[in-house]
Amino acid sequence: MTSIAPGCVLVTVTGKDHPGITARLTGLLADAGAELLDVEQVVVQGRLTLCLLARLPESVGIPRALLFAARELGVALDFQAVETPDTGAPAPARYVVTAVGRALGAGQLHSLTSHLAQAGANVERIVRLSEPHLGSMELHVTLPPSLEPQVLKRSLLALSMRDNTFDVALQKESLFRRGKRMVVMDMDSTLIRIEVIDELARAHGVGEQVSRITERAMQGEMDYDESLRQRVALLAGLDVGVLHRLAASLPLTEGAETLVRVLKRLGYRTAVISGGFSVAAEALKARLGIDHAFSNVLEEEGGKLTGRTVGAIVNARRKAELLEQLAAQEGILLEQVIAVGDGANDLLMLERAGLGIAFRAKPRLREAADTSISAGGLDTILYLLGLTGRELQEAG
């Protein structure tokens, strides 16, 4: 036996991976009467790192058989005495930081981990998500009691905005992080790359007037209902054929098809809740197989738009109400809902959801949302669910 003080020992094994290493070593610990308290194993490019935390009986040291077995297995083995874990101590707050970019190199990881260290967050585990290139990873971190999660979230947002090559999301590690069941999306400039009303306005020769009103509304500088009425009024007399032709060829945002396809394969419910127009929303619903679509209805008369809408306007408050109604209808908790949008009229909807995502959004929404995506496409959302590249290939 190799002498070591009674208590806990951390056994660290490194070397070329092959079958049987874990089985052999844990068998020897079991024979020695050790109590296994913790285990972690990772293989990177064929190289194994295995850590075993065990409590040994007071009369037992480290069995020499472990050292002999390691030599036979062709791996290096190290051990050190550690303090017995205090199982009665309160668990630290655990969070997951997800980083997604075109490529995450040493510079990006250094920038992110340095930022976390300066904030007092401790990185306990790093998991690669994307394959084959290193484009996404999640860092499991613990936060000190003095660090408010909202403060860290804002600073991580500022970091990603400065770097502009990757997005960073902070989520509490909980039952609901990987237990989402429904994704609700805005349409214009979120699910599709355009603002439908602006395209219709250009076709009708009132593009500049409508664009000015649209920008003011999206920045939160103007009441949405009034802005919609003013913009729609400018469309009076437009041939409805223009609207239907546009709806038949809407340019999807990067990653939109992948996102919806994978979500459907995994059993998620999907919805479009938009302040745009029903002809476009229904076209997307049919094209992508989305489960629900809610939007404004343009009034038609004699094959022309009248310049009015029919029914209640889908504004910010209505979007939030529809999200809640859909969740209740589907039997899904709000904590299990993801909402995605880009403008001020999406804010309430994002606040009601368990995870609110500002997608290529205006600054006000980016600061208020749970997380922000600017560098990647809509399929980036799948990594925020904790899915790996291998799982996405299986689901695709």
So which residues are the catalytic ones?
186, 188
Phi, psi (deg, nearest 5) at residue 347: -60, -50
The CA distance from 35 to 86, in Å, is 15
- CA 17 distance to own-chain centroid: 32
Q: What SS3 state is found at 229?
A: helix
The residues, ordered by sequence, that sit 6+ positions from 30 with a Cβ below 8 Å of its Cβ are none
- For tokens 């098809």, what's the residue? 257
Within 13 Å, how many C-alpha atoms sit on residue 37's CB side?
Answer: 15
Compute the distance between CA of residue 153 and CA of residue 170 in angstroms, rounded to an integer: 6
What strands lie across the sheet with 93-101, from one edge to the other? 122-128, 136-143, 93-101, 166-172
Sequence-ordered alpha helix ranges (H) in 164-277: 196-203, 207-218, 224-233, 240-247, 256-265
Sorted by sequence, the CB contacts under 8 Å of residue 255 that are 6+ apart come out as 376, 377, 378, 379, 380
**CA 99-103-109 angle, 5° bins:** 50
> In terms of Cα–Cα distance, which of 375, 389, 393 is closest to 127?
389
